[in-house]
Amino acid sequence: SSPPASDSQCLVIRNGSSAYTVEKVLGSGSFGEVAKCTKVGTNEIVAVKVMPKHQRAAAEDEEKALKHLCTLDPDKNNLIKFYESFTFKGNFFFVFEILDMSLFDLLDKLDWCPPSVAEIRAIAQQMLVALSALKSIGVSHTDIKSDNIMLVDHSSQPFKAKLIDFGLACKTEELSQYKTFQPVGYRAPEVHFGVQKYEGVDMFGLGCTLAHLFLGGHLFPIYSDYENVRSSSVFDILTSLDDLLMLSWDPADRIQPADALKHTFINMKHLPKDGTSSYVTAAHKIMAGYQNQDSCWFNSHQRSFCVRERVLPMYAWVYSRCPGSPRRPKTHV
């Protein structure tokens, strides 16, 4: 539970000369809690993940993965910034930069009205950069989903995103040692069937995440392995994704991060540099906006991204339901 509000009773976490005052609990999961904290002496706001002592093995695995990631520039590669880890009163603590909200939270805030294609492109590009960086050091995330991609600061840096939660990350060469991983609705076919696993599991997870954003709902069933595998008819419906190959059934055919970054959907080489189309203007502005923190333009145009207008004709299939799927959430224009 959250610490008492009284300053005299506030919870302080100590690590040698460093100390953090707990402001409030941001969330909790199977491995522990995440709290918003203030660093004593500097007033820097950080996020501190707390793992109880009985999660020692999981904490040590996460610490190992995070220290391996320190070889990468977190800002350049769109990865959450890790500051330090330590133990206090037998529990394990990980200190990270504070971020804004997850993509799941964003959808909830939008009342499950999908972001525009141009906005989703910005998320896709940044996560492909992150996957490319992980590939360069031989690491697989194995838990990519809408909860584990967070917006940095949606007010000042619209759609600037980072990949978080490396608690289940491992060396790519060791993937096949693990029987099952990934959330059911984001799980690659090779993981379902227990065959040889490759780095492409993360690309599949990202593809499911982007589809979740675009559809305003999950692409595959999220509660049952059996129902998930039975839902293969979705590939007959999502024909517009064939060229991108993020969701290829065969991992050998699944697109690599570097190749995906060269795809015309990402680099927009198929779009004119300028023109009268509101979509083209928005597409270029949003990509430039998250990179250059152009929040003024974004905020002034945010209400103009009408759902019915912002979807390209080639993506019109999104308004057709998959057989047996629930009706699309009501959209608000």
Please give the pLDDT value at position 305: 42
In order of their start, the domains of the chain are: 7-97 (3.30.200.20), 101-319 (1.10.510.10)
* Helical pair 117-136 and 200-215, crossing angle rounded to 10 deg: 170
Q: Is 148 exposed, middle or buried (0-12, 13-18, 19+ CB in 10 A)?
A: buried
Helix, strand, coil percentages in the chain from 3-state DSSP, rounded to 5: 45, 20, 40
Residue 327 pLDDT grade (very low, low, confident, very high; cuts 50, 70, 90)? very low
49 is in an annotated binding site: yes
**Is residue 259 flagged as an active site residue?**
no
Cα(127)–Cα(110) distance, integer angstroms:
21
Q: Is the pLDDT of residue 210 over 60?
A: yes
Flag whether the pTM goes above 0.85. Answer: no
Q: What is the mean pLDDT of the segment spanning 16-27?
A: 93
Q: Is the pLDDT of residue 204 over 60?
A: yes
Question: Which 8-state DSSP code applies to residue 184?
Answer: G
Cα(263)–Cα(244) distance, integer angstroms:
7
Please give the pLDDT value at position 62: 95
Lowest-pLDDT range, 19-23, 34-38, 153-157, 245-249? 245-249
Q: What is the mean pLDDT of the segment spanning 182-189?
A: 78
Cα(75)–Cα(72) distance, integer angstroms:
9
Cα(265)–Cα(282) distance, integer angstroms:
14
Residue of 143, 242, 259, 294 marked active site:
143
Lowest-pLDDT range, 28-32, 198-202, 225-229, 284-288? 225-229
Please give the pLDDT value at position 232: 54
**What does the mean pLDDT of the chain come to?**
80
